[in-house]
């Protein structure tokens, strides 16, 4: 038998804690992106990507040091490898894009991934895709076109890299669904290991000496990525994905804030309009999916 409920001010409900932890994760990821953008002005993206994966791998190896060999064993090595490659591609594409475009613009284009996941789930996983969801997906792409403005003579090719990153991110999310029977730690370790190996093979071609004053930034880059990943997993263990989904767009606000604070970059009106269209479409698709799940239940 449960005791009396604590006063509302005494605790935060698990769903509330999950949302707060998710927001903290998004803040850490946005700070990681801002650090990568700053380092990208001084060093080749390959060097920045290498630092992100190496520090992440070292932290995970430290956390799982007693179970490392066992956790690396997977029943689906090909799927794990493919998922890891999509995650590496997402990081590479995004880090290269933010060298030339603002954090808010890149984040807005990456926020296409929820509707891309819905579309991919229908195409590759056999999930149902009704006309209303198709409308939401089409509207989201219209929002992306507003940001890109093809034919207007203002489109930066780097923005296309951020758009491609949304596709690779969605592909990784779909592969994560395929791997849902495997340990989260296993998937995290595979991503970190593959990213470390590939970036280590590539970085000697682009390496340049690191200034002593920049060392802490490279470490902070990896720490923010590892912290964001850990907080993200914790948020999803406390709260259902359907509850957290709308709050995922808060990352756009954080990216805009860091872009303004560190680089004096604010999104222009077309980026704001396009971002609002993408977020609105994403929330609409999320609402339809939640309604469909409720109806099926």
Alpha carbon 254 to its chain centroid, in Å, reads: 13
Q: Is the pLDDT of residue 9 over 50?
A: no
The pTM assigned to this predicted structure is 0.83
pLDDT digits (tens, 9 = 90+) for 19-64: 888 889 889 999 999 999 999 989 999 999 999 999 989 988 988 8
pLDDT digits (tens, 9 = 90+) for 77-113: 999 999 999 999 999 999 999 998 889 899 999 888 8
Q: Under a CB-based contact definition with an 8 Å cutoff, are residues 97 and 106 in contact?
A: yes
Q: Under a CB-based contact definition with an 8 Å cutoff, are residues 99 and 41 in contact?
A: yes
Query: How does residue 297 score in pLDDT terms, banded at 50, 70 and 90?
Result: low
Q: Where are the domains of the chain?
A: 14-129+157-265
pLDDT digits (tens, 9 = 90+) for 242-278: 667 778 788 888 998 888 988 888 888 888 898 899 8
């Amino acid at each position: 038998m449960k005791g009396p409920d604590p006063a509302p001010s005494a605790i935060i409900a698990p769903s509330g804690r999950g949302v707060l932890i998710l927001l903290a994760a998004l803040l850490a990821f946005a700070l990681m992106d801002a650090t990568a953008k700053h380092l990208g002005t001084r060093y080749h993206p390959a060097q920045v990507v290498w630092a992100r994966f190496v520090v992440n791998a070292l932290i995970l190896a430290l956390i799982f040091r007693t179970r490392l060999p066992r956790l690396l064993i997977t029943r689906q090595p090909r799927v794990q490898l493919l998922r890891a490659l999509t995650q590496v591609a997402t990081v590479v594409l995004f880090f290269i894009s933010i060298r030339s475009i603002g954090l808010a613009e890149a984040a807005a284009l990456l926020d296409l991934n929820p509707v891309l996941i819905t579309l991919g789930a229908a195409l590759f996983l056999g999930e149902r895709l009704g006309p209303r969801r198709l409308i939401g997906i089409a509207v989201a792409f219209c929002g992306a076109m507003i940001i890109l403005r093809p034919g207007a003579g203002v489109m930066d090719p780097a923005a296309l890299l951020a758009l491609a990153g949304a596709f690779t991110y969605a592909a990784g999310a779909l592969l994560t669904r395929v791997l849902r029977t495997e340990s989260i730690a296993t998937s995290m370790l595979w991503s970190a290991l593959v990213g470390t190996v590939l970036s280590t093979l590539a970085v000697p071609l682009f390496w340049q000496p690191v200034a002593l004053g920049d060392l802490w930034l490279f470490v902070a880059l990896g720490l923010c990525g590892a912290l964001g990943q850990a907080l993200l997993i914790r948020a999803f263990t406390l709260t259902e994905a359907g509850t957290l989904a709308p709050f995922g767009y808060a990352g756009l606000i954080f990216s805009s804030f860091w872009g303004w604070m560190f680089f004096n970059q604010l999104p222009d009106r077309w980026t704001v309009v396009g971002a609002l269209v993408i977020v609105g479409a994403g929330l609409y698709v999320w609402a339809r999916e939640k309604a469909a799940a409720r109806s099926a239940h």
